[in-house]
Chain A
């Protein structure tokens, strides 16, 4: 497959000029030099080509050879991705050496490994694009489905018997084409589906502030802006661990190595509360830490979403978590600067906003080619420099996503985690989810959300007045609002990632906790309006409300309800 394309005539950092490259295409993948570094063709002029190399080019010399591959930057897709750790170009890291020498990494899949294949079709059957040819138990959690490629339809001429196959072996012949378990896909090109569907199903994250106040549908998009130390990564890791998707693609894009090591250790150790399988079994981890080559970092986002689309095509709901899109945008800026493109805002290239928009558009709930319903949800962290929320990546991301979970430094400093701000965050999915919840039998969902947000805003306003005048001068209802907003913050919105009971919270317990606080709010207001002295109300010990989230299991609604009844009776007869 690899054809000689020419020799190097110039090396300038990651940019390499190649002579004799007339057969190359723009965006084609090439291997450069004696160490076979991966590169991508940027431009062609006469007999020469400019190539951007994805790896460290130290020591690369003119006159070394450049080989063509005949295809654009592509990911190798097939069974064996789940549970794996890959770099930004989807090259396997687990069995690579301790140090990532340039040119050391190769493919995504283990070519030797044998998979148990079960055919789903018989010779002579007619198949359409996307039809399932057979299945492989990829992990205990996920069955891999080998599909008819999207441009192919016709008669099954041969199909492998039940038995063991490697990713490179032919499993079927359809209309004269041999099909293997694995195939490659150009990562910058969205994989085709039959059509887009509107989505009303929630993505349950198990994180109360998200699910109750700023919820997300499956197939939706969310941006998570937050300065350093506000807990972006921790929040996204919690969602990676506990959300109810089938497949998680975690893209650590230009972030810390130690953090990822910790995450991988957790994935291997923690069980999925629904399936009882290891979280690792449903997770693909793509890691391009901040010190790994910059251009592979740019590719990592696309690689991640391509892998998610691959599982979507099999009928699964997949979530892509990109941490952080700002580092990806910086890689974009860097490569634009090298090619001397005219910069727009803050040195970013003018295509930043259209590129971001197109990336988030790869999310959605789809009808697959085979007719199933499946989704890709994209969650992107944003790391605004200096916490400046007006900078280009943050500002543009806000325009393109359905939900914004904005992390607040003041909350983080006060050790309020997750530090999602209730004033700067939003969700455009809340309405359709309210309809979904109502159809499921919970028609109070939207009302509780409104009340909770109102209480938080009221308390913020009252607190700013109290700072000037002192709490004593406030009327009783406002002092009740302060008490209840604190209960809401401490008992519902705060959630401990370390606590076994609290790290994941089932929807029923979430609803019960919120109802608990709102009911207390109503009862206290009634009591204050009925003439009970505010000092007596403030003297009530409500500390159990802040503790119950942590003291009973993730799905223990009864404990919450019992506490509610007990507190209501105490409010009715204050000591």
Chain B
């Protein structure tokens, strides 16, 4: 497929040119923490990239944090351990950090800086683009309004992911959030339109990285995925670049190559911790729990890159995965994420303990854009009614369960006992599914009706008579009178 828009058409992309021999500066005046000061520099811009060559030939990378007429302060991404003042030579790259803009990324597995890990050739393109990205003009955005089908019932049925949305997964350590993210990455589709998955692994273990690569392998073979892997022992400053790189590639695939692109970023808590670490090294004033005051804006500069634009066929949809330290949803990382994203999918430890996969806590989870992205013509005409009904029954079932803990399930009225049975069935038949099991929307919604139909039709008050007549599968489709409980 050829690109619908050429690089350089709208962005200030730099054409890749045979590099003139860059000037190397050996006048390093001081080294402190991750920062080195280089004197006598000429024509260096702020935020420009640098290559730092050590005496033994080792090459490290940096960015300009502060530049004046005669010196530049450079932050070394890999740290300054082992560096000395003499013999360090620094060359500047002529601009901020950038990546090649090309569809060649598809099918590749790279490290957190975009260097191949899959044994393939380096990724080249005719142009490079700065990874920090340019804000989408809010006046050209169009509201997200079509679904992405993940094949996971809990998501498709009750918290539908919508193209252009940002919907995070909130989890805690030890829960299968990476498995769920990988399953979404493998199964997600948009009814046959061109699609791609960009997966950025941030600070994950080597074991997790390997299993992610395995899981995504088939799809990579079809040239529908790009993986960027920053492992837990990679430099923390690199962790700050990886999501930006991934999103720059995603924007190109979406808005210039007309694909619907799903970006998964896991684990954003590792990212935020890297940000805190770098901020502390720079001596910045900390705010809540030591995170810098710009954590919100920094996260927003990533998450807001999701969206749809007028006149473009493609879209960028974002699923950040984060682990809530100590399961605390008011921790700055989930809290600020929740303020930026359009809903959240929350995983619950008690469901996991009961063997439910995916252990999605329905009451805490919400897709705020679902109302626009599901229903007639999009998924199925009964979808929204059914999901409202399941939510409402679940809320009442939880109340009944609380009561049952005090008085015992046997002492509950029959209607409440019915709700308890409904909840058990919902978890077992609807919520639970295999890690390799992709369900169609039809199958998901039918399962929802199968569970709901365990209750008398008169209990399903949020569903219209019409829908009930068409979909209810219980014994007595009796929608005549009042409600239960």
Asked if B47 contacts A413 (CB within 8 A), the reply is no
A10 vs B137: C-alpha distance when bound (angstroms): 30
- A327 in contact with B44 (CB, 8 Å): no
Select one of B67, B135, B366 contacting A10, CB under 8 A: B67
Question: CB-defined interface of B307-348 with A at 8 Å, one 1/0 digit per residue?
Answer: 101110000000000000000001110011011101110000
A12 touches B46 (CB 8 A): yes
Q: Give the contacts of A87-132 with B (CB-CB under 8 A).
A: 93-94, 96-101
The CA of A258 and the CA of B297, in the complex, are separated in Å by: 16
Tally of A interface residues using CB under 8 Å: 62
Q: Evaluate contact between B307 and A62: CB separation under 8 angstroms.
A: no
Q: Select B284's contact among A337, A387, A498, beta carbons within 8 Å.
A: A337
Q: Check B139–A93 contact: CB distance below 8 A.
A: yes
Whether the pair A99, B285 counts as a contact (CB closer than 8 A) is: no
Number of B interface residues at 8 Å Cβ cutoff, please give it: 74
Complex Cα–Cα for A386 and B337 (A): 11
- Chain B residues in 8 Å Cβ range of A100: 134-137
Residue from the list B285, B300, B330 in contact with A290, Cβ < 8 A: B300
Which one of A9, A97, A228, A261 contacts B138 once the chains associate, using CB atoms below 8 Å? Answer: A261
Interface hub of B47, B135, B296, B343 (most chain A Cβ within 10 A):
B135
Hey, which chain B residues are within 8 Å of A385, CB to CB? 288, 330, 332, 335-336
Interface string of B125-150 (1 = CB under 8 A from A): 00000101111111111111000000
B287 located at the interface, meaning its Cβ lies under 8 Å from any Cβ of chain A in the complex? yes
Contact segment of A52-60, A355-363, A396-404, A432-440 = A52-60
Contact status B137-A258, CB under 8 Å: no
On whether the beta carbons of B285 and A258 are closer than 8 Å, the reply is: no
State whether B369 touches A11 (Cβ < 8 A).
no
Is B96 touching A59 in the complex (CB atoms < 8 A)? yes
B135 → chain A closest CB, angstroms: 5
Chain A: CB-nearest residue to B96:
A58
Q: Does residue A264 face the partner (Cβ distance < 8 Å to B)?
A: yes
- Known contacts: A97-B10, A229-B366, A330-B297. The answer to whether A262 contacts B68 by CB under 8 A is no
Contacts of B483 in A (CB 8 A): 543
Closest CB in chain B relative to A528 CB, distance in Å: 22
B47 x A59 contact (CB < 8 A): yes
**Residues of chain A contacted by B284 (CB below 8 angstroms):** 337
> Could you tell me the distance in whole angstroms from the C-beta of B64 to the nearest C-beta in chain A?
8
> B383 near A: Cβ within 8 Å?
no
CA gap between A13 and B67 in the complex, in Å: 9
A12 with B65: in contact, given A58-B132, A98-B140, A257-B141 (CB under 8 Å)? yes
Q: Give chain A interface residues in 393-435, CB to chain B under 8 Å.
A: 413-415
- A98 touching B136 by the CB < 8 A rule? yes
Task: Let me know if B81 is at the binding interface, CB within 8 A.
Answer: no
From the candidates B43, B143, B395, name the one contacting A262 in the complex (CB within 8 A).
B143
Closest to B5 in A: A98
Beyond A258-B141, A289-B138, A337-B284, whether A62 also contacts B69 by CB under 8 A is yes
Most chain-A CB neighbours within 10 Å: which of B287, B343, B369? B287
Chain A, residues 8-20, CB within 8 Å of chain B (1/0): the string is: 0111110001000
With A and B bound together, what is the CA distance between A334 and B296 in angstroms? 11
- What per-residue 1/0 map shows which CB atoms of A276-308 lie under 8 Å from chain B? 000000000001011110100000000000000
> Is B165 an interface residue, CB under 8 A from the partner?
yes
Report the separation of the CA atoms of residues A61 and B94 in the bound assembly, to the nearest whole angstrom. Answer: 11
In the complex, whether B12 has a CB less than 8 A from a CB of chain A is yes
Minimum CB–CB distance for A92 against chain B, Å: 9
List A contacts of B285 (CB < 8 A): 337, 343, 347
CB atoms of B342 and A256 under 8 A apart: yes
B236 CB to nearest A CB, Å: 20
A63 at the interface (CB under 8 A from B): yes
0/1 per residue, B424-450, Cβ < 8 Å to A? 000000000000000000000000000
State in angstroms the CA–CA spacing of A25 and B306 once bound together. 40
Whether the Cβ atoms of B296 and A228 lie closer than 8 Å is: no
State whether B293 touches A93 (Cβ < 8 A). Answer: no
Chain A stretch 313-363: residues in CB contact (< 8 A) with chain B: 327, 330, 333-334, 337, 343, 346-347
Chain A residues, Cβ within 8 Å of B305: 291
Give the CA-CA distance A265 to B68 in the complex, in Å: 46
Do the beta carbons of A96 and B68 come within 8 Å of each other? no
**A388 near B330: Cβ-Cβ < 8 Å:** yes
Across the interface, which residues of A come within 8 angstroms of B294, CB to CB? 294, 330, 334
Q: Which of B48, B134, B141, B255 contacts A260 (CB 8 A)?
A: B141
The reply on B66 being an interface residue by CB < 8 A is yes
Q: Tell me whether B286 is interfacial, beta carbon within 8 Å.
A: yes
- The minimal Cβ–Cβ distance linking A14 to chain B, given in whole angstroms, is 10
Within 8 A of A (CB), among B114-134: 130, 132-134
B297→A334 contact, CB < 8 A: yes
Distance, CA A469 to CA B372, complexed state (A): 44
A492 to chain B, nearest CB (A): 20
Q: Which residues of B contact A260 (CB under 8 A)?
A: 138, 141
In contact, A59 and B141 (Cβ under 8 angstroms): no
- Report the separation of the CA atoms of residues A337 and B291 in the bound assembly, to the nearest whole angstrom: 13
Contacts of A99 in B (CB 8 A): 10-11, 134-137
Choose one: A9, A11, A346; the contact of B287 (CB below 8 Å). Answer: A346
Answer whether residue B475 sits at the interface, using C-beta atoms and an 8 A cutoff: no
A93 x B96 contact (CB < 8 A): no
What chain A residues lie within 8 Å of B164 (beta carbons)?
A: 258
Asked if A254 CB lies within 8 Å of chain B CBs, one says: yes
B95 on the A face (CB < 8 A)? yes
Given A10-B69, A96-B137, A287-B138; A413-B304 close (CB under 8 Å): no
Closest B residue to A383 by beta carbon equals B339
Is A151 in contact with chain B by the CB < 8 A criterion?
no
B482 is an interface residue with CB less than 8 A from chain A: yes
Q: Is B47 a contact partner of A257 (Cβ separation < 8 A)?
A: no
Residues of B within 8 A of A254 (CB): 296-297, 300
Any A CB within 8 A of the CB of B363: yes
Q: Do B135 and A258 touch across chains, with their CB atoms under 8 A apart? A: no
Question: Which A residues lie within 8 Å of B65 (CB)?
Answer: 12-13
User: A562 to nearest B CB, angstroms?
Assistant: 21
- Of the candidates B69, B133, B255, B293, the one whose C-beta lies within 8 Å of that of A330 is B293
Of A12, A93, A258, A347, which contacts B342 at CB under 8 A? A258
Once the chains are docked, how many angstroms separate the CA of A100 from the CA of B132?
13
B335 nearest CB across to chain A (Å): 5
How far does the alpha carbon of A330 sit from the alpha carbon of B297 in the complex, in Å? 9
Within 8 Å by CB of B340, from A61, A256, A343, A543, lies A256
Does A85 count as interface, using CB distance less than 8 angstroms? Answer: yes
Q: CB within 8 A of B304: which of A12, A101, A289?
A: A289
Q: Let me know if A541 is at the binding interface, CB within 8 A.
A: yes
Known: A61-B44, A265-B143, A347-B286. A9 touches B68 (CB 8 A): yes
- Could you tell me the distance in whole angstroms from the C-beta of B54 to the nearest C-beta in chain A? 26
Q: Mark B463-485, 1 if CB is under 8 A from A, else 0.
A: 00000000000000000001100
Residue pair A290, B68 in contact (C-beta under 8 Å): no
A291 touches B336 (CB 8 A): no
Nearest B residue (CB) for A57 = B46
Chain B residues whose CB sits within 8 angstroms of the CB of A59 once the complex forms: 45-48, 95-96
Contacts of A333 in B (CB 8 A): 287, 293
Task: Give Cα distance in the complex from A9 to B48, angstroms.
Answer: 16
Which B residues lie within 8 Å of A11 (CB)?
A: 45-46, 66-68
- Asked whether any CB of chain A lies closer than 8 Å to the CB of B301, the reply is yes
Q: Is the CB of B139 within 8 A of A346?
A: no
In the complex, per-residue mask of A253-273: 1 if CB is within 8 Å of any chain B CB, else 0: 010111111101100000000
Residue contacts A-B, CB under 8 angstroms, 28 given: A9-B68, A13-B46, A57-B47, A59-B95, A60-B46, A61-B44, A85-B138, A98-B137, A99-B136, A101-B134, A229-B343, A257-B141, A258-B144, A258-B164, A258-B307, A290-B300, A292-B138, A294-B294, A294-B297, A337-B293, A385-B330, A386-B335, A388-B330, A413-B363, A415-B391, A415-B392, A415-B395, A543-B483
List the 4 closest A-B pairs by CB distance, nearest first.
Answer: A290-B300, A386-B330, A291-B304, A10-B68
Task: Report which A residues bind B (CB closer than 8 A).
Answer: 9-13, 17, 56-63, 85, 93-94, 96-101, 227-229, 252, 254, 256-262, 264-265, 287, 289-292, 294, 327, 330, 333-334, 337, 343, 346-347, 383, 385-388, 413-415, 498, 541, 543
